[in-house]
Chains A and B, each alone.
Chain A
């Protein structure tokens, strides 16, 4: 299992690259699901992985399709390890850690796009430069989509079109992506011809 391939589409759609260890005073690793493998692969490629781990804080939660590699990450010997049951449960802790993180911290985000996007949003809001953030997409391609009409965000969208979990409109999923929202954009598919909704196709897994 390696980096989840992303077909290049439009310029707002995020792209990803394998994680690489970089010198830093602290290493904040945030991952979900199969993102655990991106972390172990990076460490396997790193000569002084022990040094990195001595200054590392790992936060991890199961992925959106249930993949849970807690045991692997817990055992690799990071200075701090934390497991959350879900992304929303992890974010308050991330915010607290960010409030005390100093410049020179390196960020490693790995796993689903929803996890990566939300962690990146919170890190950037704290004022860290984007060069300090590395992102490797692994595992699920389920999407986090904002309804442009009601503004509600639907997590783990698998089909296109799908029903907005807030307002119920049928939305098609664009590749247009906002880092501020950490979400793709969903737009009403039958606005011009109400009721004319094509069959949903599974596009994201």
Chain B
């Protein structure tokens, strides 16, 4: 038994595109308008930026619990390729299986509720039938019985869900990353980090420890309640629409950073936004962390005048430590130069929506 989805099952909505080789990924005009631009003001610094994950504006990435967009099918094909190349990108320590089932339930119920034309879930006691039309999946299995799925529950459901995921066990007053899948990560290794606690896996982040950001964030998370998820943004920069910027493959994609020129900047340089959501899980008491990556090339971002002005100012004024950590210090001057052409100095309104 395998995850027998039929790659190429694109219809009018799902784009047939690539995140590697010829990089045909792009956002449709509607996709650009709903792009989750992460800056609500003209500057940026780390903070405990968390808010309730409640349904947001219609059509936005906040409308549903798990956003399924035009890139869904292509992203799942890319994930399958990454996992075939490197199975270490998905790990679950033995005690995390129940949390995997919790996550599977959360995702299946949410998607069947929010997108009934694409996903279906029928339950007869513990016998479940899961229908995923975009990926061509129709599986019946027994809930909580691992032997009835082709993968562990965590891998099974995350192979069908956009976004990297980690599952945190709560022990000794902290959170332990005891499971994770990462094929669209901003340069951190799930293989290396699995088994670490909250402060350990965050160790490489500059400035935030000293500001107490992680102490406060952890305190907040330990109080997270089932049924009351929260969300936050993170962001960085990526050359080419490459989802899989893994440290494992850094020798392959690192050299592309030197390929940026004023001429190709708009096309090649992407703002990479992570919409991160956190859920307390009901049976395991674990916390699921969803890191959903959205890529928008500079050409697409600057079609919204407010975003163009703001991105210029944020990139220009970002502390060197953050630009270095995020890996774009070498191209920052060129980015600022390119973006400055789209900034007339006019004031911008508070908030991230393009039209407000």
Contacts and interface: CB of A to CB of B under 8 A. Distances in A.
**Mutual binders A and B:** yes
Interface of A: 10-13, 146, 148-149, 151, 169, 174-181, 185, 187-188, 191-194
Contacts of B291: none
B151 interface: no
B248 A11 contact: no
A149 B255 CA distance: 15
A192 B251 CA distance: 7
Nearest to A187: B247
B192 A192 contact: no
Given A149-B250, A180-B196, A193-B255, 13 more contacts: A10-B204, A12-B199, A12-B204, A13-B203, A146-B192, A148-B189, A149-B249, A169-B251, A187-B247, A188-B251, A188-B254, A191-B255, A193-B258
A10 B208 CA distance: 12
B203 A11 contact: yes
Nearest to A179: B195
A11 B257 CA distance: 29
B250 A12 contact: no
B203 A151 contact: no
B204 A192 contact: no
Interface residues of B, number: 25
Nearest to A188: B251
Contacts of A10: 203-204
Contact of B195 (A151, A180, A187): A180
B123 interface: no
A192 B202 CA distance: 24
A188 to B, nearest CB: 5
Contacts of B250: 148-149, 187-188, 191
Nearest to A9: B203
Contacts of B194: 180
A175 B191 CA distance: 16
B138 interface: no
Interface in B302-356: 330
B201 interface: yes
A191 B88 contact: no
A181 B192 contact: yes
Nearest to B91: A180
Given A148-B247, A193-B258, A176 B204 contact: yes
Nearest to A191: B254
B41 interface: no
A149 B248 contact: yes
Interface of B: 88, 189, 191-196, 199-204, 209, 247-251, 254-255, 257-258, 330
Contact of A149 (B201, B203, B251): B251
A187 B327 CA distance: 14
Contacts of B200: 11-12, 177
A178 B248 contact: no
Contacts of B191: 151
Nearest to A180: B195
24 contacts: A11-B199, A11-B200, A12-B201, A12-B203, A12-B204, A146-B192, A148-B192, A148-B247, A149-B248, A149-B249, A151-B88, A169-B251, A175-B203, A178-B196, A179-B196, A180-B195, A180-B196, A181-B192, A185-B192, A188-B250, A188-B251, A188-B254, A192-B255, A194-B251
A156 B192 CA distance: 19
A133 B189 CA distance: 27
Contacts of A176: 192, 203-204
A153 B247 CA distance: 16
Contact of A192 (B189, B193, B247, B254): B254
Contacts of B247: 148-149, 187
A88 B191 CA distance: 23
A194 B200 CA distance: 30
Nearest to B198: A11
B189 A185 contact: yes
Contacts of B251: 149, 169, 188, 191, 194
A181 B201 CA distance: 14
Q: Which 8 A-B pairs have the closest CB atoms?
A: A191-B254, A180-B195, A12-B203, A10-B203, A12-B200, A11-B203, A192-B254, A11-B199
Nearest to A148: B247
Given A12-B203, A192-B330, A178 B254 contact: no
Contacts of B204: 10, 12, 174, 176
B258 A11 contact: no
A177 B254 CA distance: 23
Nearest to B209: A11
Nearest to B195: A180
Nearest to B246: A148
Contacts of A11: 199-200, 202-203, 209
Contacts of B330: 192
B256 to A, nearest CB: 9
Contacts of A175: 203
B203 A194 contact: no
A13 B209 CA distance: 14
Nearest to A174: B204
